[in-house]
Amino acid sequence: MAQTILITGASSGIGRAIALEYAAKGWNLALMARNKEKLTIVAEACKALQANTLISIGDVSIEADCQTFVESAQRTFGDLHVLINNAGISMRGVFKDTDLSVLKNLMDVNFWGTVNCTKHALPHLLKTKGSVVGVSSIAGFKGLPARTGYSSSKFAMQGFLESLRCENLKTGLHVLIACPGYTASSIRENALDSKGKAQGKTPLKEDKLMSAEEVAERIYQAVEGKKKYLILTIQGKLAVFINKWWPSLADRLTYNVVKKEPNSPF
Ligand SMILES: NC(=O)c1ccc[n+]([C@@H]2O[C@H](COP(=O)([O-])OP(=O)(O)OC[C@H]3O[C@@H](n4cnc5c(N)ncnc54)[C@H](OP(=O)(O)O)[C@@H]3O)[C@@H](O)[C@H]2O)c1
């Protein structure tokens, strides 16, 4: 019988690619996001691959929406096997100039969204000895300049998931912390500026970045292999390694990368 995966933030980018990856592998899919139109298009593409697909329109920062998402997946498909906490937003702006509401918004979506969905899915995943996945970031290992809210939320997410993994050493629950490097998607267009408005365009050449499809495939393999961490891109691996052993060098290199971005605040 087909296994069931729940994916948040499935209307675009990495979440959309994960949905299509698992659809092609014959899994049942429960997909969540706020934008009904975009999520429906993704669901139709998954159904075209013969995957049983359910959509749930909701906001991960609202606990009741996460509860509804998990309960409707359970009612429709029965046992639940994998939860991918992928929904996320980013920001750009130095802390000195940034409204605190921006940082709170990032924490609500990236950290609390993960906690909310995990809380409601956990009893079902414990029953199947399934997997909880957090799509974090290299910014969850290395604090990035002009991304205080983003890095804080991803560090918090990783602390939560690592604690959860330790707590479940004897229960059979698998926890994967997946950290993509720069990946082509809408995240930088949607990133909030220091006043909380979407910045509207990306400072990077998106076509030069890792594709969302490659990230999805690597996450699929890491879940199958019950890996604890997945760190992607050469730049991402280097950032994590250098930050561990030479943190001052990592600060200088990171500052210079962000400084070179168009319209950099530095
Ligand atoms: N792209 C990168 O370079 C990169 C690198 C490292 C990590 N990541 C992480 O990868 C994850 C996916 O990002 P992406 O790059 O694929 O960006 P994206 O294309 O902007 O997708 C973000 C997804 O999250 C959903 N979302 C945002 N806020 C939500 C909320 N409050 N409730 C429910 N869903 C919400 C969006 O859907 P709706 O707008 O329809 O709600 C969308 O489906 C994020 O956690 C991000 O931090 C991305």
pLDDT tens, residue by residue, 185-234: 999 999 999 999 999 989 888 999 999 999 999 999 999 999 999 999 99
**Distance between alpha carbon 90 and the CA centroid of its chain, in Å?**
11
Count other C-beta atoms under 10 Å from residue 246's C-beta: 12
60 close to ligand 1 (CB < 6 Angstrom):
yes
Q: What is the mean pLDDT of residues 5-14?
A: 98
216 close to ligand 1 (CB < 6 Angstrom):
no
pLDDT tens, residue by residue, 149-195: 999 999 999 999 999 999 999 999 999 999 999 999 999 999 999 99
pLDDT band of residue 65 (cuts 50, 70, 90) is very high
Phi, psi values for residue 210, rounded to 5°: -60, 145
pLDDT the model gives residue 246: 98
In sequence order, the 6+-apart residues with CB closer than 8 A to the CB of 123 are none
183 close to ligand 1 (CB < 6 Angstrom):
yes
Tokens 């996320």 belong to 88
Q: Tell me which of 18, 89, 176 to substitute to probe ligand 1's pocket, judged by most ligand atoms within 8 Å of the beta carbon.
A: 89
Residue 163 CA, ligand 1 centroid: distance in Å:
23
Which atom of ligand 1 is nearest the CA belonging to 209?
A: 3
182 close to ligand 1 (CB < 6 Angstrom):
yes
In sequence order, the 6+-apart residues with CB closer than 8 A to the CB of 186 are 12, 13
pLDDT band of residue 262 (cuts 50, 70, 90) is confident
Retrieve residue 152's tokens: 């804080």
89 close to ligand 1 (CB < 6 Angstrom):
yes
All domains of the chain, ordered by start, with CATH? 4-234 (3.40.50.720)
Q: Which residues of 10-36 are buried (b: 16+ CB within 10 A; e: fewer)?
A: bbbbbbbbbbbbbbeeebbbbbbbbee
Residue 102 CA, ligand 1 centroid: distance in Å:
16
pLDDT band of residue 250 (cuts 50, 70, 90) is very high
pLDDT tens, residue by residue, 78-118: 999 999 999 999 999 999 999 999 999 999 999 999 999 99
pLDDT tens, residue by residue, 116-131: 999 999 999 999 999 9
CA distances in angstroms from 87 to 10, 74, 128, 151, listed in the order given: 7, 20, 23, 15
pLDDT band of residue 1 (cuts 50, 70, 90) is confident
CA distances in angstroms from 128 to 19, 24, 78, 79, 104, listed in the order given: 20, 22, 11, 7, 34
pLDDT band of residue 263 (cuts 50, 70, 90) is confident
Say how far apart CA 186 and CA 90 lie, in whole Å. 10
Beta bridge partners of 33: 57
- Mapping DSSP onto H, E and C, the string for 99-163 reads CHHHHHHHHHHHHHHHHHHHHHHHHHHHHHCCEEEEECCHHHCCCCCCCHHHHHHHHHHHHHHHH
Catalytic residues: 150
Helices (H), the chain: 13-24, 36-48, 63-77, 100-106, 113-128, 148-167, 187-190, 212-224, 234-245, 247-259
Q: What is the mean pLDDT of residues 57-76?
A: 98
Is it the case that residue 60 has pLDDT exceeding 90? yes
